[in-house]
Amino acid sequence: MTSYKMNETSLKKALSKINIGGLRYFDSIGSTNDEALAWAASGAKDFSIVIADEQTRGRGRLNRTWHTPKGSALALSIILRPAASALPHLSRTVGLAALAIFDSLLNIGLVPKIKWPNDMLLNNKKTAGILVESVWSGSEVDSLVIGIGMNVYKASTPPNDALKFPATSIEDELGKEPPAREEIGRDILTSLMLWREKMISDEIIKTWEERLAFRGWQVQITSNGEIANTGILDGLESDGSLRLQDENGQPAIVRFGDVSLRPTA
Ligand code: ATP
Ligand code: BTN
């Protein structure tokens, strides 16, 4: 199985043309999001980045485990300090990350789909996940941390019997050696900077919607282990909420939260 060592020098070289706020690289860390949240709370500049080769306590939503074995995955957290104009649109942040990951995969010849709300699929298998967390200052959001976990080499993919949704890696889907993780990270960051400029534009919603998995399919939403909605996946609302069409042809809006989407047909 292929895997390559990443190091601070190779990373700095790959990111040298991007205007980042700061960089912290770790051979091994608990969670890059934890590090980024602490750094954000102690004054990190906008667009500061945390990257690790291995996470020992990588987290998904609701503290679910996110596997990041060494030498094989991209574990990246980005600190954003939103401009005042972006504050009404912060719920679009997960879409911003999804579009950037999508672009990075297109760059290497793969065509992914976005499984709303926070996963990226290749060939209907999960290859990346997004975890957005916030640092608050009173009742205002001070900063956001976008955590991205991506399965690059085969060794990053957990065994499917340990998962509720099948997983894959870029190496598996490409059928050949993927680009270095540093290069994929650079592409994600470059694209994220561009999409961020469109944060308040409806273009972000339109493109996010076009890139959704299971659009037009009959789907089911579960929440806390119970079926919360069923219907045809129609599109997105302006805040990034999911819109289904129920059996009476009426819109049913699914908001972000502990929700899981599955096709039913
Ligand atoms: P969904 O139903 O939306 O997929 P989920 O229950 O899978 O939700 P998420 O928070 O989206 O939850 O993702 C976390 C889950 O992803 C973990 O519980 C685990 O099953 C799976 N997982 C963990 N590490 C990886 C990985 N490297 N690649 C793919 N899947 C992973
Ligand atoms: C999910 O699918 O639930 C989201 C997974 C997010 C994983 C990334 S890896 C980098 C960052 N650090 C973490 O602990 N989690 C995110």
Give the per-residue SS3 of 241-252.
Answer: CEEEECCCCCEE
Ligand 2 pocket check for 126: Cβ under 6 Å: no
Tell me the CA distances in angstroms from 215 to 17, 61, 211, 232, 251, one per residue in order: 37, 23, 9, 8, 14
Q: Are residues 229 and 206 in the same domain?
A: no
Q: Which two tokens stand for residue 216?
A: 């037009």
Structural domain count of the chain: 2
Per-position b or e across 36-54, b if 16+ CB within 10 A of its CB: bbebbeeebebbbbbbbbb
Provide the pLDDT for residue 2: 59
Q: Is residue 2 part of a domain?
A: no
Residue 55 is part of which domain span?
Answer: 8-210
Provide the pLDDT for residue 160: 83
Provide the pLDDT for residue 161: 86
Q: Are residues 102 and 224 in the same domain?
A: no
151 CA: nearest ligand 1 atom: 27
Provide the pLDDT for residue 23: 98
Block mean pLDDT (10 aa), the chain, length 265 = 78 96 98 98 97 98 94 98 94 98 98 98 98 94 97 94 92 97 98 97 97 98 93 98 96 93 88
Q: Is residue 110 part of a domain?
A: yes
Q: Are residues 240 and 155 in the same domain?
A: no
Q: Are residues 93 and 191 in the same domain?
A: yes
List the residue whose alpha carbon is closest to atom 22 of ligand 1: 66
Q: Which of the listed residues 171, 186, 210 is the one where a domain comes to its end?
A: 210
Q: Are 151 and 121 in contact (CB under 8 A)?
A: no
Which CATH number is 225's domain given? 2.30.30.100
Q: Is residue 73 part of a domain?
A: yes
Q: Is residue 108 part of a domain?
A: yes
Distance of CA 180 to the CA centre of its chain: 19
Q: Are residues 149 and 38 in the same domain?
A: yes
State how beta strands 242-245 and 226-236 pair.
antiparallel
Mutate to test the pocket of ligand 2, among 78, 148, 156, 261 (most ligand atoms within 8 A of CB): 148
Q: Are residues 37 and 107 in the same domain?
A: yes
Ligand 2 pocket check for 61: Cβ under 6 Å: yes
Q: Is residue 1 part of a domain?
A: no
Provide the pLDDT for residue 98: 98
Provide the pLDDT for residue 1: 58
Q: Is residue 204 part of a domain?
A: yes
Q: Are residues 34 and 94 in the same domain?
A: yes
Q: Is residue 236 part of a domain?
A: yes
Provide the pLDDT for residue 191: 98
* Ligand with the closest atom to the CA of 60: 2
Q: Are residues 223 and 171 in the same domain?
A: no
Strand order in the sheet with 226-236: 251-254, 242-245, 226-236, 218-223, 259-263
Q: Is residue 60 part of a domain?
A: yes
